[in-house]
Amino acid sequence: MDDVVTSRSAPPESLGVKSPRARIPSADTALLGVYEISKILTAPARLEQTLANVVSVLSSFLDMKLGMITILDQHGHPEIVATSGWISHDRSKPIDTLPTKVIDRLAATAMPVIVEDVARDALFETAAETITQAVGANVSFLAVAIKSDSRVVGTLSIYRTSEEFIAYTFDADLRLLTMIANLIGQTVKLHRMLSADRLRLLNECSTLEKALVSRMPKEIRGERPDVAGIVGESPAIMEVLDTIAVVAKSNSTVLLRGESGTGKELFARAVHDLSRRSAKPFVKVNCAALPESVLESELFGHERGAFTGAVAQRAGRFELANGGTLLLDEIGEISPAFQAKLLRVLQEGEFERVGGSKTLKVNIRFVFATNKNLEAAVDKGEFRADLYYRISVVPIFLPPLRERPGDVSLLARNFIERFNSENDREHQLSASAIETLQRCYFPGNVRELENCVRRTATLARAETIVDNDFACASGKCLSALLWTGSASGAFPRTYPEPANRRAAPPEDFAPGRRTEPAPGSTFLDEPTLPLDSVCEEEGFGIASSRKMIDRQTLIEGMEKAAWVQAKAARLLGLSLRQVNYALKKYNIEIKRI
């Protein structure tokens, strides 16, 4: 028998306690106990449940008041505690009956510990009272170490009262407890190996899943793709981004429509970056910035000697964009003659350089952009109908800034961060500054907002920008001079007009003079600018008299036209733009029939 660490107290006879006859478990009983416990340890179950069943069965083969199996973690702290016979009267825990000193001794020496009376032993000075309340008086203790590969991984202990323990021999109990502890040690080792393998497999699966998901397109993963340069979280902008994510997967021609300053070039770049052509060139041309002769050479290229100054052959933008995406901005500004030349490229993908006879074939994804009302241009004969149908395959309407007021603060903070980074400044926008920006109309949309923020940051004398720093606070903002009301007719509306939209300037608005609202009213009231002046400013003809059509006549005309605006415009002798404006002015809801 191995050495045993014992702690002997006074013999029971000296205490006046009568020694009962010792009961030593027979070899058959011990063998039966080991057999029953081995069946439990080999059964598939959670380790906590297995240990609880073991200590319960152990109580049937040994006379004990309390049995406990404690499994230690890698730091030597109790991780699993399984007990049998535990009764608490003061909400104490079973582990409170096993002092840390005892655990440390078992872990350090791996030798059994025997204590005849825990109340008189220094090892149990902190737990004696708890043991007495839970087990009784005159309690004795016996514990062995649970080992796995010569390393102590836990303890197996039992508590007996003196009536059961006096004159009891320890050899048979120690042999039984040691055999059971060895079986438990092997079971703990197996469970930890399985747990480590399971954790390793889960980590490998997680790593593989992340690798596979990272290679999937974001739209397949259900995520909104990242688009460089586009800032916004409003429903209007999110709907456009979702549409672009779907459209980008095909090669269909895209027509981006929106007011000036809404970021058409950024969205065109997004169409390219999210497409399968993202590794190919993205070429852009502003059709309104070049004369027709120069634009033709710029797009088609030219041969040497094709015209004065053509000293060498030059590839055009069509050739440069081959395999990629070509953005033609301001497409509504090209002449009818050039429209016919462009139509062939769209239809056949073929063209000749200026001054050349060799037909070149290209594979290009076309993206067009315009802030012009192409339908009205087609109606007036300014834009070819066949070209219109070629470029307007997938029209995407970009919302103006006033239809996404929630994005103003995001955009403004983004612009101030860019300004700080470029100029080594530390400006911040206060809450009052954000409120001032959100009240503005911004006819120039995002471009005007950026200019406003940069101008204010440049002139600001303090790091924190407040409302009084803006030009509108001192009546120096000339943005109202640019107001044309183009939002109400140039493009079909796809989003509701925000409640805090700033209205048009009043009738008596004069350039160079700040207009204040009349008493009892604000710029949030409905527009009062005459219909004919608005139409003249926007270049729309006036088919009827210069007087504003009254509400009742408008409603009657709409009802006769089954609430089709184009038909009502013909019946009333007005343009579609005038009808649209009048409906908005009188706040008439369009009926769907």
Q: What is the pLDDT of residue 593?
A: 64
> How confident is the model over 430-476, as pLDDT tens digits?
999 998 888 887 888 999 999 999 999 999 989 999 988 888 777 77
- pTM across the whole model: 0.49
Residues in the chain: 593
Residue 246 has φ and ψ, to the nearest 5°, of -80, -45
Q: What is the pLDDT of residue 24?
A: 54
Which among 336, 338, 318, 339 is positioned nearest to 327, based on CA atoms? 318
As its CATH architecture, domain 235-399 has 3-Layer(aba) Sandwich (3.40)
Token pair belonging to 539: 């270049």
Distance CA 141, CA 113 (A): 8
DSSP conformation class of 473: G
- What residue type is assigned to position 495 of the chain? Y
The DSSP line for 207-243 is HHHHHHHHHS-TTTTTPPPP-TT----SHHHHHHHHH
CATH topology of domain 5-194: Beta-Lactamase (3.30.450)
Q: What is the pLDDT of residue 412?
A: 92
Q: What is the pLDDT of residue 344?
A: 84
Distance CA 577, CA 542 (A): 10
Q: What is the pLDDT of residue 352?
A: 85
CATH 1.10.10.60: does it fit domain 530-593? Answer: yes
Token pair belonging to 323: 């395999």
Q: How many CB atoms lie within 10 A of CB 426?
A: 9
Which among 119, 117, 107, 45 is positioned nearest to 82, based on CA atoms? 45
Structural Rg of the chain based on CA atoms = 44
- The residue ranges of every structural domain in the chain are 5-194, 235-399, 400-523, 530-593
CATH 3.40.710.10: does it fit domain 400-523? Answer: no
Which positions ≥6 away from 234 have C-beta within 8 Å?
399, 403, 404, 405, 406, 407
Which among 248, 329, 226, 334 is positioned nearest to 283, based on CA atoms? 329
Token pair belonging to 431: 């809450």
Stretch (H or E) spanning 318: helix 317-320
483 touches 444 (CB < 8 A): no
Rounded to the nearest 10 degrees, the angle between the axes of helix 408-423 and helix 431-439 is 120
3-class DSSP state of 256: strand
CA atoms within 13 A on the CB side of 77: 1
290 touches 298 (CB < 8 A): yes
Could you tell me whether strands 301-302 and 314-315 are parallel, antiparallel, or unpaired per DSSP bridges? Answer: antiparallel
Q: What is the pLDDT of residue 291?
A: 85
Each as own residue / partner, the long-range contacts of residues 473-482 (CB below 8 Å, 24 or more positions apart, any chain) are 473/436, 475/514, 479/440, 479/441, 479/442, 479/443, 479/444, 479/448, 479/452, 480/441, 480/505, 480/509, 480/515, 481/511, 482/443, 482/444
Over its length of 593 residues, how does the chain's per-residue pLDDT go in tens digits?
Answer: 445 555 544 344 433 334 444 455 567 777 888 888 888 888 888 888 999 899 888 888 887 888 899 999 888 888 888 888 887 767 778 888 888 899 999 989 999 998 888 888 888 888 888 888 878 888 888 899 999 888 999 999 988 886 544 445 677 788 888 999 999 999 999 998 998 898 899 899 988 888 887 776 555 555 556 677 888 888 889 899 989 989 998 999 999 999 988 999 999 999 999 999 999 999 999 988 888 878 888 888 888 877 777 778 888 889 999 999 999 999 999 988 888 888 888 888 888 888 888 888 889 999 999 999 999 999 999 999 999 999 999 999 999 998 888 899 999 999 999 999 999 999 999 999 998 888 887 888 999 999 999 999 999 989 999 988 888 777 777 765 555 444 444 444 443 343 343 334 434 433 333 333 333 333 333 333 344 433 333 333 333 334 468 888 888 888 888 888 888 888 888 877 788 888 888 888 887 76
